[in-house]
Amino acid sequence: MRKFSSLLFLLFLSWTASAQQLNSPNGALQLNFELKDGVPFYDLKYKGIPVILPSKLGLKLKNHPDFTEGFVTSTAEQSDFDETWEPVWGEEKAIRNHYKEMAVTLHQDAAHEHRTLMIRFRLFDDGLGFRYEFPSQQGLAHFIVSDEKTQFAMTGDHTAFWIPGDYDTQEYDYVESKLSEIRGLMDAAITGNISQTSFSPTGVQTSLMLKTADGLYINLHEAALINYATMHLNLDDEKMIFESWLTPNPNGDKVYLQTPSVSPWRTIIVSDDAREILASRITYNLNEPNKIEDTSWIRPMKYIGVWWEMITGKSTWAYTDDFPAVELGVTDFSKASPNGKHGATTENVKRHIDFAAAHGFDGVLVEGWNEGWEDWFGNAKDYVFDFVTPYPDFDLAGVRDYARSKGVELIMHHETSSSVRNYERHMDQAYQFMKDNGYNAVKSGYVGTILPLGDNHYSQWQVNHYQYALEKAADYQIMINAHEAVRPTGIARTYPNLIANESARGTEYQAFGGSKPNHVTVLPFTRLIGGPMDYTPGIFEMDISKLNPDNNSWVNSTIANQLALYVTMYSPLQMAADLPEHYEKFMDAFQFIKDVALDWDESRYLEAEPGYYLTIARKAKGTNDWYLGNVNGNEGRASQLTFDFLDSNKTYVATLYEDQKDAHYRNNPQAYEIKKGTVTHKTKLSQYSAPGGGFAISIREANAEEIKGLKKLK
């Protein structure tokens, strides 16, 4: 008893000192932490301006006292960290990880069983990351998080670029609105998806991009989502306070944990310059370093595919219309009548291999090559694919050998139809099959509702699956490009074989009725904060009815905009998504796709305004070549560019791919012009982009011979 009293006394002393302050390395950001009446609060300021007002921290537990109140003491340890690390692939060759850290240890009172919770803050010059840590302690071995109660109290009715909160999909168009308008706009924002589960009229997803009336840019997301439920944000639109909203497991519990363990990091990137949001690397920095020793097999890839023709409805994944229901291993496809529209035929794939080889592409993705597409989704079908059995018209060995002879890699496709157990059952065999046949990368898919029905794409249970698939792929030296999986949170730092994700509304929606013209000016501020997206750009034919008379979709973009995406939508995996025959009509424009690099030594964010425009210049890995891309929103606009990122003593040859003056995403998208000229570090350029348009520039160091006869670019 005596010991207990003295403990209380000591801790009381430290409680009196429990208000803690932390400044970022350059002092721009200031974090305050405080215990008020037993409740932990934090707030954040940028250059003295409030970003996050005092906001509560904590979690509710099931069958245990909550971690939201009853804290009587806290101690804080501050430390510095500064390292520079080299990513296996990325927007630059070296990333600085520089922060001040404060680890706060909180003790609860007797009514809360004297539990201990830690909150670790890392304050960078461009943002804050913090997470909960659950140390090993008496009486708390395993526990269930029933709710996380992390608040992000806004300073006003900011403008947000948001998509509806959903446990199953991020495939929504972004809405730009005031926070106070979210509730009224929610219903219309929830457009149809094969699998979707919204939860609140003010629930939105991260990463969430915000802009204040004062011109502050704020981004809310999470980093290192491992063994935890995906976080959404629910807005109290009277108080303008966001609170974390975790995706439930099937029975409603949010997270199962044991001590010691940690939550993902909650991140707040902040700047008065939108370009710094794009340049921020705190999401990667808050992840663990690379765990894959030999990374020689992880290589950026540019690819084409047998895909867009199915997405538009020109051809089909399915081989036959004979079977309303397929039973793998029983249904005999060799006796079926082909439907005549099957995309993944040997002949068509070889044609794609030829095209890839002719134009220097690394790979060809083939979808619909394997049995099971006749009834592949919407049927709660467990054994939907086996991932190894080709249709009769796909000569697997022949195609494999042909690709090899042409120096082209095939990219595997594992659509799971969200029959996740079935995928795990076949995973070892499927990965081994890939290695046996020379496939080193796989596009995995999670279309449809998770089986067994009742679970969701973003639950802890499924998050653990995606991680399982990723780590097992690493064992097989396989690169993963996971579609419909949970959106990335920087895990590619730790497992760089995660070369891309979809996890947002990709180009396919341009064939499903169209996306907003400014969609691509938002994605880099939202979805791409966590990692690269397999956006599949490069559509040259915007009138989808020309591919499929029954599909009246229109691609809301110009060709110049499509080219720019290879620069603005950073990914080590880039597709040229349109059909070879469409590229063959515009080979001069196609040249940019052939030329553009996939991996970079340096990136410069020249202009940026979410929802409106974005201009990025990147220096290709190991070269002096630069590629520049601009994408534009709904209105025409002129960029004012300077090329001061170029070496001051060199002259470069630039090839500019621009919208013609009368180009327009809706009625004149193919109106582009190509100009060639010289540029130096002194070049200034006022460059027009059409509505839904953009421009792309390739810049390479030139010798005297090459620049002969070329004028300065203007």
For a second copy, the binding residues (CB under 8 A) are 136, 141-142, 144, 249-251, 253, 256, 258-259, 324-325, 327, 375, 379-382, 421, 424-425, 428, 452-455, 459, 461, 464, 468
CB-wise, 144 or 710, nearer to a second copy? 144
Query: Sheet containing 694-701: which strands, arranged edge to edge?
Result: 600-609, 613-620, 626-632, 694-701, 652-659, 672-679
Q: Which is nearer to a second copy, 423 or 554 (CB)?
A: 423
H, E, C per residue of 110-168: HHHCCCEEEEEEEEECCEEEEEEEECCECCECEEEEEEECCEEECCCCCEEEECECCCC
Q: Among residues 508, 602, 658, 706, which one is catalytic?
A: 508
In angstroms, what is the minimal distance from the CB of 145 to a second copy?
A: 11
In degrees, rounded to 5, the angle at the alpha carbon of residue 176 between the alpha carbons of residues 170 and 178 is: 120
| Integer Cα distance of 30 and 85 in angstroms | 25
Residue nearer to a second copy on the CB measure, 198 or 249: 249
What is the closest distance, in whole angstroms, from the C-beta atom of residue 295 to a second copy in the complex? 22
Give the three-class secondary structure for 517.
Answer: coil
For residue 672, the minimal CB distance to a second copy (Å) is: 47
CA atoms of 22 and 114, how far apart (whole Å): 27
Strands (E), 471-571: 479-483, 498-501
Q: Of 5 and 63, which has the nearer Cβ to a second copy?
A: 63
DSSP result, 341-363: -BS--HHHHHHHHHHHHHTT-SE
The full DSSP string for 213-244 is TTS-EEEEEEE---SSPPEEEEEETTTTEEEE
Q: In the complex with a second copy, which residue's Cβ is closer, 280 or 467?
A: 467
Return d(Cα 256, Cα 32) in angstroms, integer.
30
Type and span of the H or E element at 600: strand 600-609
Assign 3-class secondary structure to 176-187: EEEHHHHHHHHH
Task: Tell me how far, at minimum, the Cβ of 433 lies from a second copy, in Å.
Answer: 15
Structure tokens at 354: 């030829």
Q: Please confirm whether the linkage preceding 390 is cis (ω < 30° from 0).
A: no
Residue (250 or 438) nearer to a second copy, CB: 250
In whole angstroms, the minimum distance from the beta carbon of 259 to a second copy comes to 6
Structural contact between residues 468 and 179, judged by C-beta atoms closer than 8 angstroms: no
Separation of alpha carbons 656 and 618, rounded Å:
15
Q: At what angle do helices 346-358 and 396-405 cross, to 10 degrees?
A: 10
Alpha-carbon distance of 191 to 206, in angstroms, equals 18
Strand duo 116-124 + 127-134: pairing: antiparallel
Q: Give the residue with the Cβ less far from a second copy, 134 or 612.
A: 134
Nearest Cα residue to 529 out of 268, 704, 214, 273: 268
Task: Please give the structure tokens belonging to residue 452.
Answer: 């067994």
C-beta separation of 167 from 459 below 8 A: yes
| Terminal C-alpha separation, the chain | 83
Q: Which is nearer to a second copy, 250 or 398 (CB)?
A: 250
Asked if 593 and 582 touch (Cβ cutoff 8 Å), the reply is no
Is residue 508 among the annotated active site residues? yes
Q: Nearer to a second copy by C-beta: 468 or 586?
A: 468
For residues 176 and 455, which CB has a smaller minimum distance to a second copy in the complex? 455
Q: Classify 203 as helix, strand or coil.
A: strand
What's the chain's length in residues? Answer: 714
Tokens of 606: 């020249």
Q: What residue type is 533 in one-letter code?
A: M
**What is the rounded distance in angstroms from the CA atom of residue 71 to the CA atom of residue 65?**
11
Q: Which is nearer to a second copy, 275 or 414 (CB)?
A: 414
- 490 vs 532: CA distance, rounded Å: 9
Nearer to a second copy, 382 or 581 (CB): 382
Report the sign of the C-alpha dihedral through residues 250, 255, 257, 262, in that order.
positive
Pick 16 or 138: Cβ nearer a second copy:
138
In order of 90, 415, 532, 689, the CA distances from 492 in angstroms are 10, 21, 9, 33
CB of 314 to a second copy, least distance (A): 25
For residue 310, the minimal CB distance to a second copy (Å) is 21
Count of beta carbons in the 10 Å neighbourhood of residue 10 = 11
| Helical axes 587-595 vs 559-568, angle rounded to 10° | 0
Residues assigned a catalytic role: 508
